[in-house]
Amino acid sequence: MNIRMIVGLGNPGNEYRDTRHNAGFWLLDQLAQQWQVSWRNEKKFFGDMARARAAGREIYLLKPETYMNLSGKAVAALAQFYKIAPDEILAVHDELDIPCGRIRFKQGGGNGGHNGLKDIQARLGTPDFYRLRLGIGHPGDRNLVTGYVLNKPSTAERELLDRAIEQSLQHLPLILNGEREAAVRALHSGA
């Protein structure tokens, strides 16, 4: 495990800033602040990018501006330019199938109907990138999913998500240092 790119999934624009679907952006914004790096818009990577030095290597942070459904366009552009393999990518995203505030970490697998993951898999040609899944809960009816992910969480849910992000950032060094089992134990036992 040698993560060289961390991509946060979300939708650009003020109308989406505080919606559940932008949980990946929230984590990346806090990580950039923690690592004291600045975002800059990179047209050739279709998003905002920051470059950091962590775990003894250069790590690229990316927030696609392509909207969720085309997240793979930005991920593939950055990965191709810097020769980053799919198994060197960590995608941070909201997850309907996990209770709000819980975290899961894994490599590969399906996309669970998540359009951002779907597009990344299609553009990379493989599902074998890592995922940090921030649980947002499910509205209970699949017909309500679109409205649910594109709306703000309640105050209580946002507090749970903020704690999950804090916990994720606290244990991110385990992921960056290749301590996969320790990362799973730490992240899955929390919230």
**Are 125 and 85 spatial neighbours (Cβ–Cβ below 8 Å)?**
no
SS3 6: strand
CA torsion sign for 131, 137, 142, 143 is negative
- 67 among annotated binding-site residues: yes
- 60 among annotated binding-site residues: no
Choosing from 21, 93, 114, 171, which is the catalytic residue? 21
What does DSSP assign to residue 43? Answer: G
Picking from 127, 183, 134, the residue whose alpha carbon sits closest to that of residue 158 is 134
Long-range CB pairs of 175-179, under 8 A, 24+ apart, other chains included? 175/1, 175/3, 175/90, 175/105, 175/130, 175/132, 176/3, 176/54, 176/55, 176/59, 177/55, 178/1, 178/2
- 69 among annotated binding-site residues: yes
21 as an active site residue: the answer is yes
- 14 among annotated binding-site residues: no
Q: Which residues are annotated as a binding site?
A: 16, 67, 69, 115
Active site (catalytic) residues: 21
* Binding-site entries for tRNA: 16, 67, 69, 115
